[in-house]
Structure 1
Amino acid sequence: MREDLERQLEILLDKQAITELVYAYCNAADRHDFDKMRALYHDDAIDEHGKFAKGPAKEFLDKLPEIQAPMAVLHHNVTTINLKLDGIRAEGEIYLIAMHQVKTNDGLYDVLIGGRYFDKYEKRQGVWKFSHRSIVADWAYPANPSRIELDHPFLAGAHIGAPGPDDPSYGFFKLLRRGER
């Protein structure tokens, strides 16, 4: 009975570590934190990110600053996490809704995307990281021109999020340090 309880606890802790990895990915993407993003993948990982990348994650991560440069707003929301573990390997189907506001020479436009990540994870040297991540788009809702209103009266007096170190979280948090998992 004790061994079974210990095994269940180990599975629970592994699932929590993978869940935190998924959340760290969303935070790194939304804050344009490229160092943090790079730390989430194993060196030999694969990333399939539509037209942006299909192959070694290192290549995707190298292109990420250019990909995200026109993104005025990124907001990834994980809604459902389905995980299956097998020792030091795991797979996940992660549902998400991601808001993108994109800057162009013609102005701003929005794309709200609903989809899933098909993930494979590996635990190496005691740490879970992505070994393969593939984006699956289920739907997209575009708005051109942008419908985002950061000057809406409901937002009056609120801190306004921003990519990178201009985001209010960098000055607010002491425990949730930016650039770390």
Structure 2
Amino acid sequence: MREDLERQLEVLLDKQAIHELVMAYCNAADRHDFDKMRTLYHDDAIDEHGQFAKGPAKEFLDRLPQIQTPMAVLHHNVTTVNLKLDGDLAEGEIYLIAMHQVKSGTQHYDVLIGGRYFDKYEKRDGVWKFSHRAIVADWAYSADPSRIDLDHPFLAGAHIGRPGPEDPSYGFFRLLQRGTR
């Protein structure tokens, strides 16, 4: 009985570590935290990110600053998380809704995407990281010009999120350090 309980606890801890990896990805993407993003993939990982990448994750990560430069707002929301483990290998189907406000000249447009990540993870040296990540788009909603209104009265007095180190989280948190998992 004790061995079975220890195995269940190990699986639970591994699933939690993978869940934290997925959440760290969302945070790194939304804050344009490229240093943090690099820590989430194994060196030989693959990333399939639509028109932006299909191949070594290193190439995607090298291009990520350029890809994200026009994105004034980027907001990933994970909904359903399905994980299966087999020792130090795991797979995940991760549902998400991602909001993008993109600068185009002097205008902005919005793209809201509902989709999934098809993930493969590997635990190496005791650490779970992505070994393969592929984006699957299930639907998209666009608005041109942008419908985002950061001057809406409901937001008066609120901290306003921003990409990069200007985001209020960088000054607020002591424990949730940026650039790390």
Whether TM exceeds 0.5 here: the answer is yes
- Residue 130 of structure 1: aligned partner: 130
Count of residues paired in the alignment: 181
Deviations 1:14-70 (A, max 9, x none): 000000000000000000000000100000000000000000000000000000000
**Structure 2: unaligned runs, 5 residues or longer:** none
- Tell me the alpha carbon deviations over residues 81-101 of structure 1, each in whole angstroms, 9 at most, x when there is no partner: 000000000000000000000
User: Over the residues paired in the alignment, what is the CA RMSD in angstroms?
Assistant: 0.4
CA distance in 2: counterparts of 1:176 and 1:122, whole angstroms: 24
Following the alignment from structure 1 to structure 2, what is the Cα–Cα distance between the partners of residues 180 and 168?
Answer: 17
- Distance of 1:35 and 1:178 partners within structure 2: 9
SS of match in other structure, 1:175: coil
The secondary structure found in structure 2 opposite 1:60 is helix
Q: Counterpart in 2 of 1:157?
A: 157
Name the residue aligned to 1:25: 25
Matched with 1:13 is 13
The TM-score normalised by the length of structure 1 is 0.99
Matches within 5 A, 1:89-168: 89-168=89-168
State how 1:68-83 maps to structure 2 within 5 Å: 68-83=68-83
In structure 1, give the amino acid aligned to 2:11: I
User: How much has 1:106 moved relative to structure 2?
Assistant: 4.7
- Note the residue ranges of structure 1 that are not aligned, 5 or more in a row: none
- Percent identity, please: 86
CA distance in 1, matches of 2:49, 2:140: 15
Cα deviation, 1:90-136, whole Å, max 9, x if unaligned, reads 00000000000000015000000000000000000000000000000
